[in-house]
Structure 1
């Protein structure tokens, strides 16, 4: 059997003396899966994402992503891990407005020390595949919300990550742009990309994932496989 892309074992995270944000969570995500993590505010969704991304460390348990023990990494190691293993897409895009579209997409490759010509070939490929090549020299402020999210996805995929994490990727979009991003996530998964989408939107989960994990009070309340509604 292949090694899981994500393996959490007995993961807890406490921030103070109150109830844990995550409480003894064990979770495995296989290569090629598209998993939606659902739950209300305060359920532990963001904590789970931050632990997988190496932005936080667990109070107990182990976090392994694509063979890397993320919970053991220091700050510099976690930064290298994110550049090499994880692409992240955020609700509010997090694009740099003073850079052009192509410059935003190239940034992860530059940080990782990828040879410039190869990075530019990869960026051109992504912009073409994602349907935004015509905007390569534009600045993000001139694009629609859906187009900006496509730029964010291109940036996230720049270094060919094993895992794509999407944090409420349609939360700041109008309904038409939201549908566009749902189709994009579905297409990326169909091409083999492993994706974890953190959301409170059941419709997004149904559209983009064939497996849903529901968190309640820091624990997994349900883990079910369903046919995604295209």
Structure 2
């Protein structure tokens, strides 16, 4: 049987003396699943995403991604793991305005020490598949919101991650651009990419997710 991409067991995370941001959360995600995490503000969605990315550590429990126990890694090892195994898509793109589209996409591969020629060929294929080849040498500031999010997706995929994490990927987009990103994430899901997306966009969850998880007050309320 194939090992899960994500395996959380009894995860709790506190930030102060109040209620925990996450409390005793267990979750398993198999390869090729697309899971939408829903819930009101303050429910623990962002904390969950940060734990899966190795950007935060639990106070109790275990977090395994692609067979690696993230809570056991130091900061430098977490960064190396993230570059190699996790792709991140953010609400506000986080592109570097002084780099071209192509150079933005290539940056994670360069940081990971991947061969330049192979990375450039892969980046070119990604831009082509995402319909933004014509913008390869443009700067992000000249692109629409939807186009910038496509660049961000290409950047997230450049190192062929085991896991793609998306944090409100349609939150900063107009209706048409949001629809484009919904189609794109649905295509990635059907191509076999494992995805966890945090969203308030029910249409996005319905279009792209094979399963939904609802968080409330740091606990899993409904898993489907």
Q: Distance in 2 between matches of 1:121 and 1:66?
A: 25
Q: Distance in 1 between matches of 2:129 and 2:94?
A: 21
Aligned 1:26-175 pairs, distance under 5 A: 26-175=26-175
Q: Distance in 1 between matches of 2:186 and 2:200?
A: 18
Q: Who is 2:23 aligned against?
A: 23
C-alpha contact (below 8 Å) 2:108/2:159 kept by paired residues? yes
- List structure 1 segments (4+ residues) > 3 angstroms apart after TM superposition: none
Q: Distance in 1 between matches of 2:114 and 2:163?
A: 19
How big is each residue's C-alpha offset from its partner over 1:106-157, in whole Å with a ceiling of 9 and x where there is no partner? 0000000011111110110100111101100000011110000000000000
Q: Who is 1:204 aligned against?
A: 204
Residue 204 of structure 1, CA deviation: 1.4
Q: Distance in 2 between matches of 1:134 and 1:146?
A: 15
- TM-score normalised by length of structure 1: 0.97
Q: Distance in 1 between matches of 2:87 and 2:102?
A: 17
Q: Superposition RMSD on alpha carbons, in Å?
A: 0.5
Q: Distance in 2 between matches of 1:162 and 1:69?
A: 15
> Partner of 2:166: helix, strand, or coil?
strand
- List runs of 5+ in structure 2 lacking aligned partners: none
- List runs of 5+ in structure 1 lacking aligned partners: 225-230
Residue 202 of structure 1, CA deviation: 1.5
Residue 73 of structure 1, CA deviation: 0.7
Aligned length: 224
> Partner of 1:141: helix, strand, or coil?
helix
Q: Distance in 2 between matches of 1:191 and 1:15?
A: 38
- Please state if 1:216 is matched with 2:196: no
C-alpha contact (below 8 Å) 2:70/2:78 kept by paired residues? yes
Residue 96 of structure 1, CA deviation: 0.2
Q: Distance in 1 between matches of 2:203 and 2:122?
A: 32
